[in-house]
Amino acid sequence: MSWRVQNHSESSPKVLEGNDLQSLAKYMKSDSCRNICLMLGAGVSTSAGIPDFRSPGTGLYSNLARLNLPCPEAVFEMDFFRSNPVPFYTLAKEIYPSRYRPTLTHSFIKVLHSHGLLHTCFTQNIDTLERRAGVPEEKIIEAHGSFATQKCIDCKDPYDDAKIEKAILNSEIPRCERCKGLVKPNIVFFGEALPKRFYQSALSLELEGDADLLIVMGTSLTVNPFASMADRVKGCPRVLINLNEVGNFHRQDDIVLLGKCDDIVRRLCRELGWEEELDREWEATADNVKTEDKPPAPGKNAEERISEELERITKGIEESLAISEGVPESSPDCDKEETGTERKDKPHSPEKEELGVGLGKEIQESQSASDGKL
């Protein structure tokens, strides 16, 4: 099999019968499990062919490093964007959500919702594939923003969804119809505040204790405040589904399932008796990809598709830089971390900081720093 159970719990579980997939499925079918919260990272989208950002040697930043940028992260830096939006929009065209089909893992989220079990889906990803899989918007917290909405960076007027999609796919720079300022998707750029809704929902999750189960999927859990949620959610079983063991999953009711997200959720749905429903939901996403976009070549795996995407992206940005008007004289601060299609602020260390204090403070800072923003 392509997945395995990693058991590091400190003692016998209190709630679960065991620290394995079968015990997880039994708990999910019980009356004790009514509210499931999810934390998602780039690993849930890689099988769709979307490149991640930070994998050494293969991530998007590694490929952008050879281009004439102050640093690869400059593509997501506001001052650079104001001076030269062409690289960002060249990248945006290649990773635009309509070009990609939701993965089996995204369809699993929809199945959870259909069974009335999904409380909240927190995602670091900007690709909106949760929405495209049919998960209701009100269930999704896009911690680092997404391509779902956009606005003028100057007057803050919202911009039409269809118009920005047309502009991006036609390699055009969208401009505000009111003030002619640059339009930017509501993706959190470096230095921008995270959405207030993320802080408020994360704080509520901790203080109210709403979760009966927390499932963490496809994330490195390296950048806060998103990553700190996993440790601060108390009183419920936690599950890590990931290629590698990350974070601190050593509690009595923790389960670590190592492998590809799609493989593990299929196995879990089989245990739950949901496999046929999972397949139906995923088949329903086939029409979500724009017909003008070329489908993946038969027989190519995700790694091959991602490699091709990276080459096309970097080539496109290289060409765009050759015809654009130049770059800012001052280089942006490039000492930031980035993982997958996960957008985030500069990380901070949570250490022993209480979520109620830490996030409460950040909500206040966010409200003062982002008046009229996300």
Binding residues: 42-46, 52-54, 124-127, 152, 155, 176, 179, 219-220, 261
Amino acid letter, 1: M
- Token code pair at residue 286: 């086939």
Q: Give the pair of three-digit tokens for residue 10.
A: 């400190």
Count of C-beta atoms within a 10 Å radius of residue 352: 4
Q: Which residue has the tokens 């339009």?
A: 183
Cα angle for residues 27, 220, 374 (degrees, 5° grid) = 95
Strand ordering across the sheet containing 254-259: 3-6, 254-259, 238-242, 213-217, 36-40, 118-123, 140-142
- Which residues have a catalytic role annotated? 144
Q: Are strands 140-142 and 118-123 parallel, antiparallel or unpaired?
A: parallel
**Alpha helix ranges (H) inside the chain:** 21-28, 60-64, 78-83, 86-95, 104-114, 129-132, 161-169, 196-208, 229-232, 261-272, 275-283, 302-323, 355-369
Residue 358 in tokens: 């830490």
Residues in a beta bridge with 82? none
Smallest CA-to-CA distance from 132 within 170, 101, 89 is with 101
List residues bridging with 221 in a β-sheet. Answer: none
Cis omega before residue 225 (within 30°)? Answer: yes
**Per the annotation, where are the binding residues for Zn(2+)?**
152, 155, 176, 179
Query: Taking a C-beta distance cutoff of 8 angstroms, is the pair 181, 167 a contact?
Result: no
37 φ/ψ angles, rounded to the nearest 5 degrees: -110, 145
12 SS3 class: coil
Residue pair 219/43 in contact (Cβ under 8 Å)? The answer is yes
CA 158, CA 160: separation in Å to the nearest integer?
7
| Numbered residues of the known binding site for NAD(+) | 42-46, 52-54, 124-127, 219-220, 261
Distances, alpha carbon 13 to alpha carbons 10, 229, 241, 251, 344, in Å = 9, 21, 18, 8, 34
